[in-house]
């Protein structure tokens, strides 16, 4: 199948602008996205591309987001081979081995996660996902109830379940991510994870022992109050998806909802933070 490749360059400073553009493209037939240092690449089958629909996808966004793109024609190729050549296994803290279905198992690692890399987001390779997985490996998850917000591929919830968590809920508002989470739950036989499509409005009306939220600064700030409601006293909230300079704003917002800063991790100017819900 022939594809069109769109190479997007984003000059806006807000990190969530990329997500808005990707969501708009996913709604008009684009099925694969690849993060780049300047923005992202988006791919759509030639047979699914409609110029008028594409032009209308950015209505309301072009005034908000500063971006440009180049369009390239990609002749028919074996896309599975393309993914296999670009997706490398990942090892976290010498304990967790993340691989695709086409990689060989490595039983010397205590935890193995299989992720079908249909998208380049949520495979563990991004700095924020790596730090969140490190936090999970350092925490006691045995018999803990867990909420994974902005779950992407479901990788964080899957790791938490492998560490003994129970009654897990994984939520993402992107239908592509929701479908990917369901598929990866099945691949890893993580049968105690319930996937939901939506945002903070679909968080179950109960309290959790741990909440994992790897999204972006603006969405986190909007949802922190709801996270606090969904945490039992003494429970922990782990968040990532923002930069070092955003930490004071995240900390200030969290303090308004009885959440106390515990510590943080940094990697290439990205940050993951740990908060505790006070009694």
Give domain 124-277's CATH architecture. Answer: 3-Layer(aba) Sandwich (3.40)
User: Which residue would you say has higher pLDDT here, 143 or 3?
Assistant: 143
pLDDT value of residue 119: 47
Burial class from Cβ neighbours inside 10 Å (0-12, 13-18, 19+) for residue 49 reads: middle
Give domain 3-77's CATH architecture. Answer: 2-Layer Sandwich (3.30)
For 97-119, what is the mean pLDDT? 86
Rg (CA), the chain: 19
pLDDT value of residue 52: 94
The Cα 68–Cα 238 span in angstroms is: 34
Indicate the pTM of the whole model.
0.74
Segment 57-85, tens digit of pLDDT: 998 888 889 999 999 998 865 555 555 56
Burial class from Cβ neighbours inside 10 Å (0-12, 13-18, 19+) for residue 12 reads: middle
The Cα 3–Cα 45 span in angstroms is: 4
Instruction: Reply yes or no on whether the pLDDT at 122 is more than 60.
Output: no
Among candidates 45, 2, 80, 18, which has minimal Cα distance to 241? 18
pLDDT value of residue 123: 58
Tokens of 213: 């939220």
For 27-42, what is the mean pLDDT? 83
Work out the number of other CB atoms within 10 angstroms of the CB of residue 131.
22
For 270-278, what is the mean pLDDT? 96
Domain ranges across the chain: 3-77, 124-277
User: Which residue would you say has higher pLDDT here, 217 or 260?
Assistant: 260
């Amino acid at each position: 199948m022939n594809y069109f490749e769109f190479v997007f360059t984003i000059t806006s400073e807000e990190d969530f602008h990329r997500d808005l553009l990707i969501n708009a493209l996913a709604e008009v037939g684009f099925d694969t996205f690849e993060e780049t240092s300047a923005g992202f690449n988006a791919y759509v089958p030639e047979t699914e591309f409609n110029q008028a629909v594409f032009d209308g996808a950015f209505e309301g966004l072009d005034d908000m987001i500063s971006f440009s793109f180049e369009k390239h024609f990609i002749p028919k190729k074996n896309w599975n081979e393309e993914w296999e050549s670009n997706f490398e296994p990942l090892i976290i803290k010498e304990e967790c081995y993340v691989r695709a279905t086409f990689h060989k198992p490595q039983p010397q690692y205590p935890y193995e996660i299989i992720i079908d890399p249909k998208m380049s987001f949520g495979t563990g390779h991004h700095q924020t996902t790596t730090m969140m997985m490190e936090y999970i490996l350092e925490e006691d998850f045995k018999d803990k109830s867990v909420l994974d917000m902005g779950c992407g591929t479901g990788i964080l919830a899957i790791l938490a379940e492998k560490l003994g968590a129970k009654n897990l809920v994984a939520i993402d508002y992107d239908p592509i991510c929701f479908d990917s989470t369901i598929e990866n739950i099945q691949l890893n036989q993580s049968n105690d994870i319930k996937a939901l499509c939506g945002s903070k409005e679909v968080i179950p009306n109960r309290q959790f022992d741990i909440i994992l939220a790897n999204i972006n600064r603006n969405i986190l700030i909007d949802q922190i109050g709801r996270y606090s409601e969904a945490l039992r006293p003494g429970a922990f909230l782990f968040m990532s998806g923002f930069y070092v300079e955003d930490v004071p704003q995240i900390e200030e917002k969290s303090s308004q909802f009885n959440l106390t800063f515990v510590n943080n991790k940094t990697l290439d100017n990205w940050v993951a933070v740990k908060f505790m819900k006070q009694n």
